[in-house]
Structure formats: structure tokens, C-alpha cells
Structure 1
């Protein structure tokens, strides 16, 4: 993303955040009519919550202490609070519009309308808290997806390949030592032949990853054929080279528009992320430019973080593409939006002779909350020489 585009994007995001929080503050202020002494404290909290994520992410680049980490966590959770509180308040406001035509709210509230408003606000806050906490618990427990695929290509001395694939880990302040350790234990317990990381291994700035020594956990990933990754947009948001070098230093080989021939059996291609050209100034190679150095009579596996233009990969000799990026919206109802943007927002699809799998991801971006789906680790068993 170019600097001018980033400024426009940043301005839009901040403007939306301020407007939404102003709406929440106004409605909360109205709900506290029965308790006027609480109102100043509520406004103070809303100011802190509104800007905590921005302040926390900015400060952690130069300092890393409990206050900065707390601001980051508060701001991250607050994104989810904003969503679910706003959805409820919009529904309430729709009800109030109906009440203008068919009055019924005053009858339900009785004589003490201010207390009725407070109780309504308390219900909204309680529902929001329960939904966000349930989503946080859901984000902590990934599911394991098993998928067996037939690859009609012959591999000497190898009947099958067991891949454990993970995308969108987003290592950083939110996805710290506990979650990283859980990832490593989960993946290693699945006994992979090879481990593939489909981008966004790191969450933007590499600083929190270094300070928490998360690379020590990554170095414990184990597979006889190695651990490979492609770049994601968040590797480049974090500066690109520092993030990629950190992964390389911790036993993960990052493929950037290159391929490797593994065990004289199959090819693995890793594409640069779509965001790379705006960061590096180098054009991302097309599939046609990547394949001439690959013998497509052998199995070919492709890592491409963002699952765009699947038709350009189908029937090219690539047998399997593994992607992530979408999180399938992460928070309900955003999955409906990602379904419209991507041909495959999550899960499996076959186009022609090419298999595609888009993972919902292991970690989270922004709020450590998943309400639209579960995080996952994917086990792909490729069976060779099928159909021959």
C-alpha cells in the first residue's frame, strides 16, 4: 500500500471508529440519566477505549511495558464490543422509530422511564460482554480439519504426503507465548511430513515477537521434510524484511516467488503476497512465470496467502493451492462479506484438476475473538498415483 493510499485508509478507519464510539457514548450517556454522577466516569472510559488500540500499537514500537500491553488488549477487545453493542443499539433505535408510529415503549417502561433506559443499557452491555467472552474462548480452541485428496501423479517411493498447514497466526502482543506454545504442541502432535505456513505468521511489527521471544517456540516445530512459509500482507505491514529474516532465523524457510523440489518427489512453490510490490517495488511473478522451472508431471503444491483469481491457477499443473487471509470474516456477520469478495472464503474447492483450500486461520487480527467460525489447523493427506 502506497503512502498516500495508507493515509486515506487510515483516515477512513479512524473516522469510522470515532463516529461509532461517539454514537455509543451518546447512547450510553442517555442510558445513565438515572445516575448522573456516573456519566463523567463513563465519558472518560469511552475516550480511553476509543483510542487505546491506536495508542497501544504506536507506543509498543518504542516501549513494551504492562501499561502499553494493557492498552493494546483493551483496544483489541473494544473492536468486538463496538460491533456487537452497535448492532444492538441500531435494533433498539429501529424499535424507537416504530414507537413513533405505534407507541408502546412508554407503556412497557412504566412511570420511571430513566430507570427503564438504564436497565435496557445494562442488558445491551451484558449481551455484548457474553458474546465477546464466548468469542474469546472460541478463539482459544482451534479445531483440526482433516482432508484427503487424490493426486493423479506418480511419485517413486512415496504413496502419500501428510501436510499440516496453518495460516494467519498473527504472532505478536495478542498471540503471545501461551498461544504460540499451543500451536507448536498441536502441530507437532499431528506428526506431519511437512509443515506449511500460508502467510501472516507475524502480526505487523516484529518488535513484540522479539521481546516475547516467540521465535523460541517456532524453532520447536518439527517435520522431517521441513517447515516452509509464504509471505502475507502482515509481514509487509510490519516492514517486510525484518519479519521475514526473523522467520528464517527460526527454522522457517520463506519462499518468495520461488520453488523447491523436496525429496526428489514434489515441488513446493511460495508466492510473494499481493501487497509485496507496493512495499518492495518488485513485480510479483505470475503463475506462468513461476511454472517454467517446475516439472508439472510431479506433484506441485502452491502457497499463496490471498485466495484471489483461482481460475488463473486451475489446470496449470498446480495440484494444490493453500491460502488463508480471509479469516472468513472472523466476527459474525462479516463472513457474509468475505463470501461475496472471495470465490472461496473458507474450506475446500476443486477447479478442474486443481484443489484449493482456504483456511480460516489459527490466530486473530484485532480482537482476540472469533464469533463467525473457529480457528483451525489443517491436515491434508495427499494420495499419489490415484486414478492410474
Structure 2
């Protein structure tokens, strides 16, 4: 392991311990104002929960599957709780500091026990809402509908019913039950073609292989097939070749910086995720991928990360499908993704160039969504000389 990686991991781990200690101290102090706690029992329990996800990753090859799943589930839910507590507690500290200067809070509300009980109740209620609603919202995908007209003629096809999914994140938490449900939803929409825009697999390859999850993709029914590109998570652990092999064996056409003409009607290009550059491989330019193809045909590109839309526009792409952002997954992260990407979710039109970015079918880390929804994109395309798009909620 390179020295830089070791240093980064060490710094990150120390930082993680510090912020967890801060949260643990706040929780212990707040509860202790009203109730007597055994500090040793509290901290043993607290550190078990806060380190559960890290332990699940370190012990993945040693723990039985059932125990590993429990560790993982506890750990990822704690990450969600930690995220929101890191927003709440510093805000409370800031309000208290300002109040010491301005005294804008009536003194009757500052009685320690009363304030502690109120804050514990409010925060507990919020956490309960996040876990219950966020889990339901993350597990129940809806269909996001679009209609678009592309200003090109297709020799054989006048219209196209496209289903697109991204960010499935198959693994320990999103398993065959969710995958089967996704396949059933896709088939119920009677697609002409299905596009998968990256992050098929989550962090670990083992659950994907042992669960034979790739085989479920062979049950997708469409007139022109299923086409996929790879996302940044598909490259983690350098498992991209194995994932590609598994999907291709299940009948999915995985496009690795390559393009294909579909039934003489349209061209689909699939790009390796931009993260491949970090492992020293580098991905092809889009112009190079399309060099030998007739650009007068409708051109679609699957590019997991929507950061390269300018290159797609300049290459004459008619429609790009992306994911990656999850629309932040947790509020207020959507404000961050909105600031980073030109389009972090939904539809963008620039002349004859169109982009659709999905919030994704699955989740990364905590299996919850607050401020975003799990979705399957259903896009109805018409080919003619009038480019308009209608969006239906």
C-alpha cells in the first residue's frame, strides 16, 4: 500500500473518531442532565455502533454472512444518524454562544433539565422520522416520465420507449429481492430498449457474485436489448472486468468506451466512468469512440458521471443518460450536488443536445433517502424535426 494512501486512511480514521467522540459526548451530557447513565456501558455501546461499519468492512472475509449483514446495517444507519447530528449539535452550540452575547432566549427555557428533555425529544423524533421515512423512500422506486422529440430521422424507428436506471448499487444491502422488483417494474413498462448508466455493483463484489445477481438481468424483456456502461463503484477493487463478464453472460451489452448501432435505427455509446483515470488506464475521448459511425443517426451516450456533458455536446450527441449524483440522497446534500454539476438531476437541453440525470434506483451507504427519491426513468422519444420535452411528475 502506498504511503500516501496509508496517511490518508490514518487521517480519515482519526477524524472519524474525533467527530464520533464529539457526538457521543453531546448525547451522554444531554441525557445525563435528566437520567443517570453508566458511562462505561454507554461508551462501549456507543463505540460498537459508531465503528460497526468499519468493522464490517475489515472483517468481511471472516464473519458469517448473517452477522456481517447485521454489522453493515447498524453501521450504515449510524452514518445517516451521524450526518444529521453533525448538523444539529454544532447549530445548537452556535445558538447557545450567540445567546450568551444577545440573551434572546427567555431564561425560563434555559433551565438545564427542561432544555435537555425538550432537545432529546425533538432530536429523537427527527432521527425516528429519518430512519422510517427515509428507509421507505429509499426502497420504493417510482417511475419518472419524460417525453422528448429529437431533431433527427431514424430509418426504421419513429418513436422509442426507453427505460433507464442508474446507481443500482447491488451488494449487502440491495439484494436480489430489490433487483427482482426492479426487473418486474421495468418489464411492466414494456420497453423498446433499456439503458443502465453505471454503478451496477456497490463497494464489494462478493455479494454480487455469490447471490448470482447478474442472472436477474437476463429476465429483462425489451425489443432492442439492454445496454450498460460502468460507474465509479464498478471500478472499485478493479472488479470492472469481472462485472462486465457477469453482465454480458446475462445478455447485457456492456459498452466499455465503445459504441454500437442498434437495428440500423440509432447509435448507443457507453463510456467507462471518468474515475478510471485514477487507476492509470484512462478513457477514450468521445470523438474517438464515434469516429467510424454515421453521426446523422440519433446518438445516445451512457456516461455515469454528468461532469462531461460539454464533451458530449461538442461531439454531436443527441441525448446523454447519467446518474452518479443520487440528487444528494440526503438533504441538504442536494444543494452541494446542484452547485457542483451543471445538471445534477432531471433534464437539461442545450440546442439539439439533451441530458437526463437520474437520482438512481438504489442507494449508497445508508439505505435511506431524504430530499430525493429512488426512481426508474421512462423516456418516450419521437424522431422528427421539432425538439421539445415534456416532464411529468
TM-score normalised by structure 1 residue count: 0.92
**Structure 1 residue 292 corresponds to structure 2 residue 284:** no
**Structure 1 residue 55 corresponds to structure 2 residue 55:** yes
Task: Give the secondary structure class of the aligned counterpart of 2:377.
Answer: strand
Partner of 1:250: 250
Q: Is the 8 A contact 2:151 2:352 kept in 1?
A: no
Structure 1 unaligned blocks of 5 or more: none
Task: Give the secondary structure class of the aligned counterpart of 2:290.
Answer: helix
**Aligned partners of 1:293, 1:63: CA distance in 2, in Å?**
51
Partner of 2:220: 221
Structure 2 unaligned blocks of 5 or more: 388-393
Partner of 1:312: 311
Deviations 1:297-353 (A, max 9, x none): 111100001011322211432111000001111100001111111000001001221
Partner of 1:108: 109
Give the drift of 1:160: 0.8
Partner of 2:72: 72
Q: Is the 8 A contact 1:32 1:38 kept in 2?
A: no
Aligned length: 384
Q: Decide which moves more: 359-368 or 307-316.
A: 307-316
Mapping for residues 122-271 of structure 1, pairs under 5 Å = 122-239=121-238, 240-271=240-271
**Structure 1 residue 382 corresponds to structure 2 residue 373:** no
Provide the aligned C-alpha RMSD in A.
2.1
Mapping for residues 345-384 of structure 1, pairs under 5 Å = 345-384=344-383
Q: Is the 8 A contact 2:156 2:264 kept in 1?
A: no
Q: Decide which moves more: 2-11 or 152-161.
A: 2-11
Task: Give the secondary structure class of the aligned counterpart of 1:381.
Answer: strand
**Aligned partners of 2:99, 2:191: CA distance in 1, in Å?**
60
Give the drift of 1:372: 1.9
TM-score normalised by structure 2 residue count: 0.91
Give the drift of 1:3: 5.3
Q: Is the 8 A contact 2:53 2:71 kept in 1?
A: yes
Partner of 2:391: none
**Structure 1 residue 328 corresponds to structure 2 residue 323:** no
Give the drift of 1:228: 1.1
